[in-house]
Amino acid sequence: MSMNLVTTLYLIASICFIQALKGLSHPTTSRRGNLFGMLGMALAILTTVGLIYKLGAELATAGIGYVIVGLLVGGTAGSIMAKRVEMTKMPELVAFMHSMIGMAAVFIAIAAVVEPQSLGIVKQLGDSIPAGNRMELFLGAAIGAITFSGSVIAFGKLSGKYKFRLFQGAPVQFSGQHKLNLVLGLATLGLGITFMLTGNLGAFALMLALAFVMGVLIIIPIGGADMPVVVSMLNSYSGWAAAGIGFSLNNSMLIIAGSLVGSSGAILSYIMCKAMNRSFFNVLLGGFGGATETAGPAGAKEARPVKSGSSDDAAFLLTNADTVIIVPGYGLAVARAQHSLMELAEKLTHRGVTVKFAIHPVAGRMPGHMNVLLAEAEVPYEQVFEMEDINSEFGQTDVVLVLGANDVVNPAAKNDPKSPIAGMPILEAYKAKTVIVNKRSMASGYAGLDNELFYLDKTMMVFGDAKKVIEDMVKAVE
């Protein structure tokens, strides 16, 4: 395989990746985008395997065998996990994948530092690694280490299964936390520069250790309400780690793919920050999420009366409406009620009711979580609207049905300047003529706040598991 052919195939794979990002920018083209992404990755892998085989033949090594075994093991494990993962566990899987990308960058950097001749960085063992390559290895390894340990913490927070305090959804904060992060950041940078200038392996090892610690400290002060932004941010980090290693290996495919992932993840993080009224730079520094602590523990607030009803009552309101907007949240995913919801929407549509779905950018536990959930139930794309496109319609809507959503419809974001979520853009469900809210209980959302929407005179609470409640609504509509 000639280098010209390798370059051409990598270029084609890069075009596929760009088309993948373009396709994934809208639900109607997302399948095509995924197809382009898979084709690009398959082409990149096959080209790399061919290149390794050629280099192995020239150097009389058996490295290609290890590569094939690694591909088979990793591909098999990935396929099994993707097939078995539940929709509610998708954010955890994404965090796990980010951690693997970060660790892969660390391992490649270590291999390049220990045996640079094997990766073509130097001509023979004993030659000094050029300063430029040392800088690239430092950056790729440091970002990869931060991505790995940060993703592990994010995985634990998203899972909610582990009792270890660092894996709890509540922010973990202590006095002097930001100063410690600053000191560790400067120390990591100093050690990286030392390695770049001198090639000292001890400085490189200590830099890696501090980067792993920094990844933990950056994520632990972030509360569960902000996990969608964390997932997006870690996605960006993993891309930059891959790009940094790509420069060291002189691999154009890694550079291009990593840059695409890093820049698109950063842009998505910025969009998510705007949707939550967060500072983008605070996200990058791990300095957000703590505001939720002021809300106090869930359930500590004084009990207030609410108006509650049954599934039959909700079905009566829905069938007598001309327009209905459905707001899905994480509770819908937990109950696995998306298919029942689709059936309800179809029956209401057949009765002449105009049904639309409203999606908040940070609904669920990762970017696009609700879009994927509704797509799985085959909800028509033309019925699904983003926040900025549908907010103007709430004032003319007869009934809004809120299913498992909480903070993204809390009027306190607009009406209470002292609220921890003040200024956060929300779906303006409170403007509708009637609001129906389905929740298991009156427990607060991730932000730990009471939701004023629940106490409005126009609001009717329907308590219970979302799937059971929606199935009862379907029966009542029939």
Active-site residue, from 226, 313, 407, 465: 407
What is residue 82's predicted lDDT score, i.e. its pLDDT? 83
User: Is 407 marked active-site?
Assistant: yes
Q: Are 421 and 407 in contact (CB under 8 A)?
A: yes
- Global pTM value: 0.76
Question: What is the residue-level pLDDT of the chain in tens, covering all 478 positions?
Answer: 677 888 899 999 999 999 998 888 777 788 899 999 999 999 998 888 887 766 655 544 556 777 788 889 988 998 898 888 876 777 788 888 889 999 999 999 999 998 888 777 888 777 888 888 899 899 999 999 999 999 998 888 877 677 777 777 667 888 888 889 899 999 999 999 999 999 899 999 999 999 999 999 988 887 666 677 788 888 888 899 989 888 888 888 889 999 999 998 888 888 777 777 767 666 655 554 444 443 443 444 556 788 999 999 999 999 999 999 999 998 888 888 999 999 999 999 999 999 999 999 888 777 778 888 898 888 998 899 999 899 999 999 999 999 988 888 999 888 888 887 778 889 999 999 999 999 988 877 666 678 889 999 999 999 999 999 999 999 998 7
What is residue 62's predicted lDDT score, i.e. its pLDDT? 55
What is the 8-class DSSP label of residue 289? Answer: S
Q: Are 400 and 324 in contact (CB under 8 A)?
A: yes
Single out the residue of 213, 165, 151 nearest to residue 188, CA to CA: 213
Cα 3 to the center of its chain, rounded Å: 37
Residues 6+ apart with CB under 8 A from 416: 422, 452
Helix H, strand E, coil C: the string for 76-118 is HHHHHHHHHCCHHHHHHHHHHHHHHHHHHHHHHHHHHHHCHHH
What is residue 447's predicted lDDT score, i.e. its pLDDT? 62
Q: Can you list the domains of the chain with their CATH numbers?
A: 85-294 (no CATH), 311-477 (3.40.50.1220)
301 to each of 295, 331, 440, 460, how far by Cα in Å? 9, 22, 17, 20
Q: What is the DSSP string of 392-448?
A: GGGGG-SEEEEES--GGG-THHHH-TTSTTTT-----GGGSSEEEEEESSS---TT-
What is residue 296's predicted lDDT score, i.e. its pLDDT? 40
What is residue 63's predicted lDDT score, i.e. its pLDDT? 64
What is residue 57's predicted lDDT score, i.e. its pLDDT? 53
HSE at residue 350, side-chain half, CA atoms within 13 A, is: 9
Q: Rounded CA gap, 59 and 420, in Å?
A: 61
Assigned token pair, 17: 């990746």
341: left (phi over 0), alpha (psi -120 to 50) or beta: alpha
